[in-house]
Amino acid sequence: MSFEPFRVRVPATTANLGAGFDCLGLALTLYNDLEVHPSGMTKLAIEGEGAGSLPTDESNLVLMTFQKASQLAGEDLPPIRVLCRNRIPLARGMGSSAAVLVSAAIAANRLLGEPLTKHQILQLVVNEEGHSDNVAPALLGGLVVSGLRGEEPVTHQIIPGRELKIVLLVPEFHLETSKARQVMPSSVPLTDAVANIQNTALTALAFASGDYSLLESSLDDRLHQPYRKVLVPGFDAVLAAAKAAGAYGAALSGAGPTLVAFSLDRPEAVAKAMEAAYTKEGDGSCKTLILDVDKEGAVVEELDSQ
Ligand code: HSE
């Protein structure tokens, strides 16, 4: 089968936003590209993040997702050459695995003649990834509130009412989500659960209305951060530095170890303060990123034939 080469571009995401554990996720303007070209045989190469460390054989997440999508659609995929241009740091709480899975599911769907709806793609990837809070914004863009109706993901997209800068402090070390979930208790006091419900609703409303002053208290979390922060040296110091430098607030990005802060007009000062605090109290080196909110989610672009 012949087809025109194409690229699937998928954004990084920051999940939870403090209190919205497993519920809120925001798409960011940092992207992984998955390029797909016709070929005599299927092969995959990786550039950037994960090059040399991620597998390129059939145990690669992209090729495994191609197989799942092909089984779901009941059709075989043609042989292809895949190039992953990865820019989202791995195992840092920025949605790298969700981005890879979303890009692969969309690419497979295109190759199969688009038999799957966007909702079926969401469901396929959530089943694989386990959590909708990274997957849904990677697919849709903006801030996405997500949950489950039975086994089915339910989502609502909010395009922020006003521009906001997202500042990320990305430590050098990796932290697997599974490890960050193991340190959490299996039950929490009702007062903590209530505080998180209140703050999650306020955070979603802050983005919907553009009243970001709500974030000054709504990022406070009692469900996961108090237990996870032992895994991220410098956690308290970096969050305090971000606020002192003018951020509305800061939180663990996804399961960490990246820390995320939100600022309207002082992102450089916030990034500098976070980096200084991490350098003093953290563990190893780090980098900072200043990003915008991605509003489009995953997109497919044609490539020139080569
Ligand atoms: N919400 C997940 C967690 C990470 O904090 O463990 C993103 O899916």
Three-state secondary structure string covering the chain: CCCCCEEEEEEEEEECCCCCCCCEEEEEEEEEEEEEEECCCCEEEEEECCCCCCCCCCCCHHHHHHHHHHHHHCCCCCCEEEEEEECCCCCCCCCHHHHHHHHHHHHHHHHCCCCCCHHHHHHHHHHHHCCHHHHHHHHHCCEEEEEEECCEEEEEEECCCCCCEEEEEEECCCCCHHHHHHCCCCCCCHHHHHHHHHHHHHHHHHHHHCCHHHHHHHCCCCCCHHHHHHHCCCHHHHHHHHHHCCCCEEEECCCCCCEEEEECCCHHHHHHHHHHHHHHHCCCCEEEEEECECCCCCEEEECCCC
Q: Which burial class, exposed, middle or buried, applies to 104 when counting CB atoms under 10 A from its CB (0-12, 13-18, 19+)?
A: buried
CATH assignment at residue 47 = 3.30.230.10
Predicted confidence (pLDDT) at residue 29 exceeds the cutoff of 90: yes
Q: How far is ligand 1, taken at its centre, from the CA of residue 259, in Å?
A: 13
- 96 in contact with ligand 1, CB cutoff 6 A: no
Ligand 1 atom closest to 133 (CA): 8
One domain, residues 258 and 297: no
pLDDT at 207: 97
Predicted confidence (pLDDT) at residue 240 exceeds the cutoff of 70: yes
d(CA 37, CA 49): 21
Ligand 1 atom closest to 135 (CA): 8
Q: How far is ligand 1, taken at its centre, from the CA of residue 38, in Å?
A: 35
For residue 1, what pLDDT band results from cuts at 50, 70 and 90?
A: low
Predicted confidence (pLDDT) at residue 134 exceeds the cutoff of 70: yes
pLDDT at 306: 58
Q: Which of 132-136, 142-146, 147-151, 164-168 comes out lowest in average pLDDT?
A: 147-151
d(CA 120, CA 107): 14
One domain, residues 54 and 81: yes
- 257 in contact with ligand 1, CB cutoff 6 A: no
One domain, residues 178 and 35: no
pLDDT at 131: 87
Asked if 22 contacts 130 with a C-beta cutoff of 8 angstroms, the reply is no
- 15 in contact with ligand 1, CB cutoff 6 A: yes
Predicted confidence (pLDDT) at residue 162 exceeds the cutoff of 90: no
Q: What is the mean pLDDT of residues 40-54?
A: 95
Number of structural domains in the chain: 2
One domain, residues 14 and 152: yes
- Identify residue 12 by its one-letter amino acid code: A
Compute CA distances 182 → 15, 177, 197, whole Å: 18, 9, 22
Length of the chain: 306
Q: What is the mean pLDDT of residues 128-136?
A: 92
One domain, residues 126 and 204: no
One domain, residues 100 and 184: no
What angle do helix axes 118-129 and 61-73 make, rounded to 10 degrees? 130
Residue 1 lies in a domain: no
> Which of 133, 196, 225, 252 has the most ligand 1 atoms within 8 A of CB, as the residue to mutate?
133
Ligand 1 atom closest to 224 (CA): 5
Q: What is the mean pLDDT of residues 81-91?
A: 97
Domain, as residue range, for 255 = 165-291
One domain, residues 175 and 155: no
Asked if 167 contacts 263 with a C-beta cutoff of 8 angstroms, the reply is yes
Ligand 1, atom 3, residue with closest C-alpha: 255
CATH assignment at residue 285 = 3.30.70.890
d(CA 263, CA 242): 9
Q: Side-chain half-sphere of 170: how many Cα atoms within 13 Å? A: 20
Percentage of the chain exceeding pLDDT 70: 99
Q: Measured between alpha carbons, how far apart are the two ends of the chain, in Å?
A: 17
Q: How far is ligand 1, taken at its centre, from the CA of residue 21, in Å?
A: 7
One domain, residues 183 and 280: yes
Ligand 1 atom closest to 129 (CA): 8
Which contacts (CB < 8 Å, 24+ apart) does range 73-76 have?
73/108, 73/109, 73/112, 73/115, 73/116, 75/112, 75/113, 75/115
Residue 142 lies in a domain: yes
One domain, residues 133 and 190: no
- List pLDDT tens digits, range 111-122: 999 989 999 999
Residue 196 lies in a domain: yes
Q: How far is ligand 1, taken at its centre, from the CA of residue 226, in Å?
A: 15
pTM of the model: 0.96
Q: How far is ligand 1, taken at its centre, from the CA of residue 136, in Å?
A: 12
- List pLDDT tens digits, range 255-284: 999 999 999 999 999 999 999 999 999 999
- 255 in contact with ligand 1, CB cutoff 6 A: yes
One domain, residues 257 and 220: yes
d(CA 290, CA 215): 18
